[in-house]
Amino acid sequence: MDMDSRLKQIVAGQPHPLLFVTVSGAHLYGFPSADSDWDLRGVHVLPAADMLGLGAPRETVEDSRKRHSPDDLEVDLVTHDVRKFMLLMLKRNGYVLEQLYSPLVVHTTPEHEELKALGRGCITRHHVHHYVGFARTQWELFEKDNPRRAKPLLYVYRVLLTGIHLMQTGEVEANLLRLNERFRLSYIDELLAGKIEGGERGLLVEADLSFHEKEYRRLTAELERAGETCQLPERPSSRDAMNDLLLRVRKAYGAL
């Protein structure tokens, strides 16, 4: 995917040094439509005064740009201070790992590569709980949707297949197209086409809702079994190395 130069300009204007910024959301998941916004996620480094002073540091920075004309980009940029991001990595948070390993990179540094290497030691069998819970939330949103849309249902399947793949291989893969090369679910291509052509509000046409509910429950059970039988470790092994990297980053970026 060609990265729009305007994304790089937005990232360049952020207030703190950045370790990385990647693309998340529909573009990462493989089903952007013409009206999809750009979800950018990343890590910044706060200055020493923010970290050491009496005030609470602003660990998360958000920058939203709305579309005012058809040619504009709609962008939602969220970055966390490196310490906060590392602490999220050490929890059973698959979402931040998806951001870390996104192949759609707007900005990167050598420290980003180090963090990716250490991230593999953060993947545990307990990430199954993140994906089971996330899929349940997405299914509930889909059930409440009226009329039913393709996008929430695609999110259900994306989350479930990402979780199963992670439990079985230890690899983070968030792109539904690539996931389905492995799982070969015949209905995914039709759902993808409906979302891409119909846009963010694209409706499900003649969808068999009882079938999709059975598939949701079948894949949830498969995800839970994969969590029970996987060979992933019980707890992260990268904490000490991440602490060393954090101290080096603070020093290198003038925050110590």
Please, which pLDDT band fits residue 147 given cuts at 50, 70 and 90? confident
Average pLDDT, the chain: 92
Please give the model's pTM, rounded to 2 decimal places.
0.92
Q: What is the distance between the alpha carbons of residues 206 and 156, in angstroms, rounded to a whole number?
A: 18
pLDDT of residue 255: 56
Query: What domains can you pick out in the chain, each with its CATH number?
Result: 8-122 (3.30.460.10), 127-229 (no CATH)
pLDDT for 200 beyond 70: no
User: In this structure, are strands 75-81 and 38-44 parallel, antiparallel, or unpaired?
Assistant: parallel
Q: What's CA 52's distance to the chain center, in Å?
A: 30
Reported as a single tens digit per residue, the pLDDT across 118-130 is: 999 999 999 999 9
% of the chain residues with pLDDT over 90: 75
Torsion, CA 74, CA 104, CA 86, CA 137, rounded to 10: 60
**Long-range pairs for 250-254 at CB < 8 Å and ≥24 separation?**
250/45, 250/48, 250/51, 250/82, 252/111, 253/17, 253/45, 254/47, 254/48
Q: Which of 111-120, 123-132, 136-145, 220-229 has the lowest mean pLDDT?
A: 136-145
| Residue 55 or 24, more confident | 24
**CB contact at 8 A, 13 and 103:** no
pLDDT for 106 beyond 80: yes
| Residue 72 or 75, more confident | 75
pLDDT of residue 109: 98
